[in-house]
Structures are given as C-alpha cells and as structure tokens.
Amino acid sequence: MTAPPPAAPAVPARDAAASGEALSSGAVRARISLADSLRAYVALTKPRIIELLIVTTIPVMFLAQRGVPSLWLVVAVTVGGYLSAGSANALNCWVDRDIDAKMRRTRRRPLPKHSVTARQTVVFGLALGVLSTLWLGFAVNWLSSLLALAANVFYVVVYSMILKRRTSQNIVWGGIAGCFPTLIGWTSVTDRVAWPPLVLFAVVFLWTPPHTWALAMRYRDDYAAAQVPMLPVVATERHVTWQMTLYTWATVLCSLALWPVAHTGPVYAAGAALLGAVFLVEAHRLHWSARRGVTGVALKPMRLFHLSNTYLALLFVCAAIDPLVH
C-alpha cells in the first residue's frame, strides 16, 4: 500500500488573515485609483465651464423652435456639446500645462498634479473631438457638427496656441470660440444660420471681455507669474475697468437688438432691460472705485464676475421663455 502524500503545512491563522487583509487593501487601492482616474478625466473637460456653454445652447433651441424642442434633440445636442467642449478643454489643459503649474488657481488641475500624463490628455481630447463630431453629425445634423468642430479648433489653436501668450487682446478674439453654442443651438433645430443666433453670438462675444477680465483682475499675480499678458496684467486697473464698462454697454445694447430681430415679446424685452441695468450698475461701480484709487482685492472684481454669469444665464432663460408666452 502506498503511503498517503504528506499533508500541506498548516498556515498560521494570523498569516492567513494578513494575506486576506493585503488582498483586501489592494482591491481598495485599485478602486480608489480607478475613481481618481475617472475624476481626473472628468476634470480635464472643465464641467463648470461647459455648464455655461449649455446655458447658451438650449435656450436658443426654444427660440428657434418658437416653442419646446423635442426632448431627444435637446439630449442629443447636450451630449454632443459636452463631448465637443470637453475635447477643447482637455486639449487646452495639455497646451497650458506649464502655465497651470505656475498658477494657484489652476495648479490642482490633473496635469500639474500628475493625475494623468500629457499623452493620455491628448489622446483623450482627440477621442472626444472625433466622437462629438460623429455624434452631432449623425444624431443632429452636419451643420451643427461642423460648427462645433470649428469652435473646438478655434479654441485650441487660435486662442490657446496663438493668442493667449502673445497679446492682451487674447480673450477678446479668443472668446469667439465660446460664442458658437448660440449657432449650434439654432442650427440643431433649423439646419441653417439666421440673424437671431448671430445677434446672440455677438452678445456672448461682447460679454466675454468684462467677464474674463474681472476674473483676471482677481488673479492678476497668477497671470503675471505665468507671463500671460491678460489686460489686467499689462494695463492699469482704471484702464481695465473703463474697457469693461464699454464692453458692458455694448453687450446690453446688443442684447436689446434681439427684440426686433427675433420678434421677441415683452418678456424678453423687459428681462433684457432689467438685467442689463443691473449689469451696467455693477460695471460702473467697479470703474468708479478704480477712479477713486481703490486697488487690488478691495475693488471686488469678483462681484462683477459672478454677476456676469447670472446676467448671461437669465438673459438666455428670458429668450427661451419668451416664445412660450408670446
């Protein structure tokens, strides 16, 4: 009779427990790592900026429809718009990775934190761009798709690569990229460009400088350290606030032009006038403070920055509501 094989040596209970704890700890680390990676990729798309772009897209769809557009179309445009803007923002993060590392406001973005690599960022941004172009083309229409692609290229190449580091007018002309959602919202419904979205395009174009320069005034030292020639870095606060006031006046007057061009009713007219008055008061307050010699944080430029966000959002809400009651 053959002897039975020798029994395997017993594993001490505490060693087995330690092994189980190690496996459990490794699984937890893997889950945390996956969650961190997902958060990093989402952060590359800059969701808070995209929120504002969506606010200038969907209300224009209501205006173009003269009522409520189909739910599917709204979803399709929102998804495609997020993918397109996310692509542009991710590629902007790649272009600005050296600047972002020097600025307190941006040093916690994924690339300066080394949460993702430069190569991963480029691949991710390009993949989103291709996906958004195809999605909008097949799910909406090819005119809207091409407009979104044009906005993407303009933001990455013209603004991020060419203008941003070379001229104090960077945001004036680079801000054109952020105006395209007005055209995309309109063409998604009508498949053609018309005067009303062009007026709203101009509103966003004129609104962008005072909005962005207010933020740049607050983070002037950051931009100076990164050698980005934003207007508040290279000009006096009195000059900057005067320019902001002029652009605010132009924004409000342009917004009122939508009333006859788009045949909007009293809801939009009253809303645009009231919101414009509040916006103008804040712009003049900032300029008057600068003229009196108030400088730095005491000027409270972020008041105008936050108010400008509210102004634009509510103005476009008025444009969406007006055809429902007019």
For residue 27, pLDDT over 50 is answered with: no
Residue 118 CA, distance from chain mean position = 21
What is the pLDDT at residue 182? 98
**Residue 8 domain-assigned?**
no
Q: Is the domain of 95 the same as that of 167?
A: yes
Are 145 and 201 part of one and the same domain? no
Domain count across the chain: 2
239: amino acid identity, one letter:
H
The reply to whether 174 and 223 lie within a common domain is no
For residue 20, give every residue at least 6 positions away whose Cβ sits within 8 Å of its Cβ, in sequence order, or none.
none
Share of the chain above pLDDT 70, in %: 90
Averaged over 58-87, what is the pLDDT? 97
pLDDT digits (tens, 9 = 90+) for 213-237: 999 999 999 999 999 999 999 999 9
Split at pLDDT 50, 70, 90, the class of 47 is: very high
Q: What is the largest CA-CA distance in the chain?
A: 108
Among 5-9, 119-123, 156-160, where is mean pLDDT lowest? 5-9
- pLDDT of 21 over the 70 cut: no
Inter-CA distances, 201 with 137, 227, 240, 251, 308, Å: 22, 30, 23, 11, 16
Final residue belonging to a domain, choices 162, 184, 206: 184
pLDDT of residue 48: 87
Q: 7 lies in a domain?
A: no
Closest CA to 208 of 258, 261, 170, 163: 170
CATH, residue 226: 1.20.120
Determine the pLDDT at residue 31. Answer: 53
Q: Report pLDDT for 34.
A: 81
Judge whether residue 17 has pLDDT over 70: no
Residue 174 sits in a domain of what CATH number?
1.10.357.140
Taking residues 276-290, what's their average pLDDT?
Answer: 97
Q: Is the pLDDT of residue 23 over 50?
A: no
8 confidence band (pLDDT: 50, 70, 90) = very low
**Is it the case that residue 6 has pLDDT exceeding 60?**
no
Angle at 315 between CA 217 and CA 270, to 5 degrees: 120
Residue 125 sits in the same domain as residue 70: yes
pTM over 0.85: yes
pLDDT average, residue stretch 93-103: 95
Residue 137 CA to residue 163 CA, distance in Å, equals 29
Residue 76 has pLDDT above 70, yes or no: yes
Sign of CA dihedral 128, 184, 257, 319: negative
Classify residue 100: in a domain, yes or no: yes
Per-residue pLDDT reduced to its tens digit, 57-66: 999 999 999 9
Rounded distance, CA 245 to CA 266, Å?
26
Structural domain including 248 reads: 194-326
Q: In residues, how long is the chain? A: 326
Mean model confidence pLDDT for the chain: 91
158 with 209, same domain? no
- Using the predicted structure, report yes or no on whether residue 26 has a pLDDT greater than 80: no
